[in-house]
Chain A
Amino acid sequence: MLDDFMVRAALAAVGLAVACAPLGCFVVWRRMAYFGDATAHAALLGVALSLAWSLPLFGAVIVVALAMAALVAGLSGRQSVDTALGVLSHGALAAGLVAVSFVQGVRTDLNAYLFGDILSVTRADLVLIWAGAGAVVALVAWRWSALLLSTLSPEMAVADGIRPRAEQWVLNIALALVVAAGIRIVGALLVSAFLIIPAAAARPLSRSPEAMAVATALIGAVAGLGGLGAAFRLDTPTGPTIVCAAVAIFALAMLLAGGRRRAGV
């Protein structure tokens, strides 16, 4: 069954949806969208490293993403983090593109790293994607309450013996794993879309953080499978089609929530 590229693509999409769900919620709650962008864009530098020295892609992307997270963590706490993130995010993207161009023979399939190439996912990729998803879910579930309280109030968290800076690193590591898993599927440019949009769509449908994480996973999976099917039928690029499907679900959720508010339910 795993011989079929569509089955592998579907499993990859669902795996990414699962990995993105708990983390995507925190990205939305903590307003880390730009941070997600910067980390995902830095992944292109990882791609360049991996191609230049024949290193494993997954490992190279994780290392570069973590380095980016460390850089951002060093900057946070100072003023105008927003601008700094903008510089880092676009700087990483440009530097990655330049670095990749130095590597022979890659120019043709650069698109695969920018927008993903889910149809070419191999069995080995699937193992990495699902291992990454399992690690992210386990990590975030383990620190769930501490992360929630750190997000609501770092001071209250400290008073309760939690170290918000250490908890931030839990998210940084999870983000690096998700970016590494997602680069083959939706690409460096669209990973953060897959983090934010399903979570944003789940928000009006959820009454608790846990419910929102589960709804995010379901919405991400539906968007992944629906986008995959649509791309196959319409012969469109899969990564962007998946993101379009997620946006459509988001719009639907907003309409639903708006209608419910008007009905006074």
Chain B
Amino acid sequence: MSGGAAPLVTLSGVAVELGGQEILRDIDLTIRRGEIVTVVGPNGSGKTTLMRTIIGAVAPSRGRVTRAPGLRLSYVPQRLAVDPSMPMMLGRFMNLPRRRDPATVAAALDRAGLAGMERRPISGLSGGQMQRALLARALLNDPELLILDEGTAGLDQPGVAAFYARIEQVNADTGCAVLMVSHDLQIVMRASDHVVCLNRHICCEGTPETVSLSPAYRGLFGAAGAESVALYRHHHDHSHDDGLPCAGLACAGDDEDAA
């Protein structure tokens, strides 16, 4: 669907070695403006290393990572381990590394359900509050590419649904591309334009439907993967004013171009 949009990040023939061990090999991947790309894969498959390579925190040992010039990207880590020795209030955190207008910060916190919590120490936030704060801070940058590494670790089921609904809403509102790593297969299948199945190399990729039918994907995820196929029968590419996932609204036919 977004095959023609401008590429934001392109990886060609990328391999990554860490401590003499090859973590990733032969990675060819393009992330285009406005699309939602999800990376799935078992533990130890190199998902986080792939994210770190794309943002530039890890240099590839082979191949090339090309980013669009002046690309604004934001990164939401799996979790933020705040050393208790550092006093850091939420309001100050939102102003890192650049000072923002207080009204902008207040509005962002309000949208994240954290209104008026500027003076809370971030070490005292709950898992869900922290995830929403990290996402709110990432969005202050007005990113062209938002990268989320297991953004929902530690959230309960409604929390996960709300988190992804918010990301889909951001994607729809601002056209910001999203690259995420996820374990939540069912939601991935519903929310993504493009799924990449990773196990040190790219096993298979394509639309959620193509991937979920591929033997490589089933080999990796087995029954859980098959289940998500049954659930996946509608596409997110229509507006959700309430921001809620619309389970039961079958919208088959949106993805015919891939099938």
Contacts and interface: CB of A to CB of B under 8 A. Distances in A.
Q: Which 7 A-B pairs have the closest CB atoms?
A: A159-B75, A145-B97, A158-B57, A29-B86, A149-B96, A149-B97, A159-B55
Given A145-B98, A152-B82, A156-B77, A209 B56 contact: no
B83 A146 contact: no
| Best-surrounded residue of B52, B93, B96, B98 (most CB of chain A within 10 A) | B96
A115 B96 CA distance: 39
Contact of A211 (B87, B97, B141): B87
Contacts of B121: 207
B97 A28 contact: no
Contact of B96 (A145, A164, A203): A145
Interface of B: 19, 51-52, 55-57, 73-75, 77, 80, 82-83, 85-89, 92-93, 95-98, 119, 121, 141, 147
For the complex, would chain B's binding face be called helix, strand, loop or mixed by DSSP majority?
Answer: loop
Contacts of A209: 86-88, 92
Nearest to B92: A208
B39 to A, nearest CB: 15
B19 to A, nearest CB: 7
Contacts, number: 72
Given A28-B85, A29-B86, A208-B87, A152 B96 contact: yes
Contacts of A31: 83
Given A78-B19, A155-B75, A148 B87 contact: no
Interface residues of A, number: 30
A183 interface: no
A207 B86 CA distance: 9
Given A160-B141, A207-B87, A155 B57 contact: yes
Contacts of A149: 96-97
